Every structure is written in C-alpha cells, then in structure tokens.
Chains A and B, each alone.
Chain A
Amino acid sequence: MGALALVAAAIVFGLGALGAGIGNGLIVGRTVEGISRQPELRGTLQTTMFIGVALVEALPVIALVLAFIFYGEA
C-alpha cells in the first residue's frame, strides 16, 4: 500500500490545513473586530485569541502527525 499511503497523507493534511486556515481566520478576524470596537480591551482579547488559536489548531496538528505516520509507512 505504498502509493496509497502517500495519497492518504496528502489528503489528511490538506483537509487539516483547510480547517486550521478557516478556523484561525475566523478567530483572528473576530478579535480584530472586537479590538476595533473596544480598544481598551486589547490585552484581554489578544490573550483569548491565542488560547482560541491553540485550541482550534489541536486537530489539524493531530492530522499533521497522522500525515507523518502515513508518510513513514509508504
């Protein structure tokens, strides 16, 4: 199953990157909106944004590890 493992690696990480991109984009976009509405909350909003990014990126990073595993199997 050598070649199919490479295709699996590509698909798993491609979809993971798509999810990470859309998710992070939404988070940062809303944070920028929030900062523009209330500039004095900039510190709190930034901290919450980083927490949100780390949480949302958890599954795409797991997809990345799976892609490395599949790539090693090929």
Chain B
Amino acid sequence: MDHIFPIVHVAGIRFDLATLTMIILTSIIVFVLAKLAVRNLSVTNPTKLQNFLEWVIEFVQNIIGTSMDLKKGRPYLMLGITLIMYIFVGDMLGLPIGIVTEAHHGASIFGMTLDLGGEEEAHIAWWKSPTADIGVTGALTIIVILLTHIEGLRLNTKHYLKHYIEPHWGFLPLALIKEVSKPLSLALRLYGNIFAGEVMIGVILQLGIWGTPALVVWQGFSVFIGAIQAFVFCMLTMVYMSQAIVHEEHGEH
C-alpha cells in the first residue's frame, strides 16, 4: 500500500496508465505466442510451440465438453482459448517485475497531470497484472455475460425467457438475484485473487532481505492461484453459456 498507480483524468474519466500499458502488453504477448506457434504447421513433425498450443486447444475442448455437448459448444472454442490464454498471461505478468518511480505534486506525463491523491509526493508503480484492476476483469465479465444473454436469446429464445418463471413464478426474484450475482462474483473473484496477491508481494518486499524465503513461497503460490483462476474463469464462462443455450435437456418439465 506504499505505492499508488499512475492515474490521470482525461475528459473527466479516470484512466490508470499502468493498466492500459499492461493490457496492451498482454495482448501483444498472447498474439505473438499464437503467431509463432502456427508458423510451419506440420502434422508429422510439430514444433514445441505448436504442440503446446494444441494441448491448450484440447484442454479448452475438455472444459467445454464437461458442460455442454461439443457440437453445440464448437463456436465457443475460440472464446475459451482467448480467455484462458489472456487471463493466464495477465496473471503471470505482474509477478516477476516491479517498476516504481517517485513523483512530486504536479508531475505530468505526455501533458496529463498525474493524480497523486492529494499527497505532495508518492511512489508510483508502473508494472502490474492487468487483471489486478477491476476495470479489466469487469470488462471481461461484461463480454462473457452479454454473450450468454445474446446467445440464449438467439438460440434458445422460448426456453431462455421461460426459465425465469420456471418451475414457479415465485422464483422470479431468486432468478433475478442470480443474474446479478453471476457477473459480480465472476469479476470480483478474479480481481480479488490477483489484486490481493500483488498487495501481499508489496507487503513482503517491505521486509527487505529477510523476506526472501517468504517471497519465494508467495510467488510460487501466486503462480498456482493465477493458473487456477484463469481455468475457473474459462470454465464458468462455459457453464453459464451451457445454462443459457441448452435448456431442452431437462425433460422433467
């Protein structure tokens, strides 16, 4: 909590420059990874990167297969792969590096003044995971939830609209609460895990040299948590998608 993030106000909107640069960096890394993996594609003699990407694709196919029929789920394979790769790279990015600069009141970058929260001078952190910002996780969640609603309306209209009042219209408030809590929990879960991990890294760093074993243990744990959260986000996406588009399976009503 010693350091703050470079916040600028442009046209009344609050922008976090560290998050913006890290979003772009993560996108570039995932894109370069994917591009390099499909160079010299070969069935009989795959390169290591092609092998790795094929493993990722099969992994996501497995995730889709556990929640819905693969024929119905085929269109969402790319969504799942993008989500899991982006979130995983984003989670890992904030762990090894930290860039902190000092700034005084009135400091500005590219002509925009930094918001130091009223202090005279502050330490500004420029490198963090993009998913450690509620804006990024919220955006990913909005994309996913909007997709589930749109696909549910498009592919499964009658059942999708009816499931709010099945099995009894008295369940409507609960169904509405579910529609609110799904996006909230999806966004806050990823945000909380990664943000808390980074704050802990900052706290452990304050111990100086004596914090090294604790830092090693915590970094290892953070890698584990980052991977699990990427997997859970992708899996919950597929579960919500299957709940929206596959409703005829329940034959009891």
Contact = CB atoms under 8 A, between A and B. Distances in A.
A24 B194 CA distance: 19
Nearest to B191: A65
Given A50-B228, A54-B228, A54-B232, A65 B1 contact: no
A54 B229 contact: yes
A61 B1 contact: no
A40 to B, nearest CB: 18
* Dominant secondary structure of chain B at its interface with chain A: helix
Interface residues of B, number: 15
B196 A61 contact: yes
Given A51-B232, A54-B232, A71 B1 contact: yes
Interface of A is mostly: helix
Interface string B223-236: 00000110110010
Given A54-B229, A62-B192, A65-B195, 4 more contacts: A50-B231, A55-B232, A59-B185, A65-B188
Interface string B204-232: 00000000000000000000000011011
A57 B190 CA distance: 11
B199 interface: yes
Interface in B143-161: none
A11 interface: no
Given A68-B1, A71-B1, A72-B1, A62 B188 contact: yes
21 contacts: A50-B231, A51-B232, A51-B235, A53-B228, A54-B189, A54-B228, A54-B232, A55-B189, A57-B193, A58-B185, A58-B192, A61-B196, A62-B188, A62-B189, A62-B192, A64-B192, A65-B191, A65-B192, A68-B1, A71-B1, A72-B1
